[in-house]
């Protein structure tokens, strides 16, 4: 029986994977342009693109429109979209060390939009906690959590602890507030100059933005969160149920 020839794109994929594995192409390295890399490897640009699509699907490279193709930064954190996860817990569950960089907090009057989310009067004080979350020392999420300042009225020192620990953990252990559920909106966005600088990525890189409001058991809004997740660092899954109709 005649053996089918191995697709050239598979050989190209294996060659680039080998270079990554041997450290010849390190995390964050920008690959040569498609014409230059195709010439170097002796293949057509169509063959190269097919190999790059495979590598991107495997999480080994990331391709950014108008910028180029880069070697991915490392392991991915798995998350299920049907579970109200905290970033710290998700990173720990993936077997990586959760950390924080560029952490700061401040108090400010609530904007009309945030006041509506948190059921406050516009102008009431809120606490804003801003952090870059890291997995094994690498930035993966920029988060801004906004809480009614009244929650800390008798425990202002708790704000300091929110900078380094899980927000959910601090709320429950320090303030006795247990998050019952959250309502989230997900949308792909491209990093603006501020977000790109804080995450140490090129401007325009694709991110997954999550806007969420968390509620206590009595349906009182507790936290309004804005998170920018590095797309290459996370694998998101969701349980999709059938329509529940009997087939005729």
Question: CATH for 8-71?
Answer: 1.10.10.10
- Residues 29-84 have pLDDT tens digits of 889 998 999 999 999 999 998 888 888 776 778 777 667 888 876 655 545 444 55
Tell me the domain boundaries of the chain: 8-71, 77-237
Task: Decide if domain 77-237 falls under CATH 3.40.1410.10.
Answer: yes
By CB atoms closer than 10 A (0-12, 13-18, 19+), residue 241 is exposed
- Extract the runs of DSSP E, i.e. beta strands, from 111-201: 125-135, 138-148, 179-190
**CA-based nearest residue to 74, from 61, 86, 64, 84:** 61
Contact of 219 with 179, CB cutoff 8 Å: no
Q: How confident is the model at residue 3 (pLDDT cuts 50, 70, 90)?
A: very low
- Residues 190-248 have pLDDT tens digits of 999 999 999 988 888 888 898 999 998 888 999 999 999 887 665 555 554 555 555 45
* pTM for the model: 0.62
Distance CA 100, CA 107 (A): 20
**CA-based nearest residue to 170, from 144, 143, 151, 150:** 151
């Amino acid at each position: 029986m005649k053996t089918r020839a191995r697709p050239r794109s598979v050989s190209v994929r294996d060659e680039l994977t080998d270079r990554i594995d041997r450290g010849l192409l390190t995390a964050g390295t920008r690959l040569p342009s498609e014409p230059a890399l195709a010439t170097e490897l002796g293949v057509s640009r169509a063959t190269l693109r097919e190999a790059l699509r495979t590598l991107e699907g495997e999480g080994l490279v990331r391709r950014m429109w108008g910028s180029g193709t880069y070697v991915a930064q490392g392991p991915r954190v798995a998350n299920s979209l049907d579970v109200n996860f905290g970033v710290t817990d998700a990173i720990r569950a993936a077997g990586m060390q959760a950390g924080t960089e560029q952490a700061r907090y401040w108090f400010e009057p609530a904007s009309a939009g945030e006041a509506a989310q948190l059921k406050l009067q516009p102008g009431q004080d809120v606490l804003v906690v801003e952090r870059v979350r890291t997995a094994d020392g690498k930035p993966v999420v920029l988060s801004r959590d906004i809480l009614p300042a009244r929650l800390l009225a008798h425990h202002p020192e708790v704000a300091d602890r929110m900078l380094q620990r899980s927000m959910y953990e601090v709320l429950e252990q320090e303030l006795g507030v247990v998050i019952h559920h959250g309502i989230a909106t997900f949308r792909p966005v491209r990093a603006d100059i501020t977000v790109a600088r804080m995450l140490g990525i090129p401007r325009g890189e694709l991110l997954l933005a999550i806007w969420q409001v968390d509620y206590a058991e009595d349906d009182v809004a507790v936290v309004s969160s804005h998170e920018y997740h590095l797309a290459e660092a996370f694998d998101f899954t969701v349980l999709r149920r059938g329509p529940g109709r009997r087939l005729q």
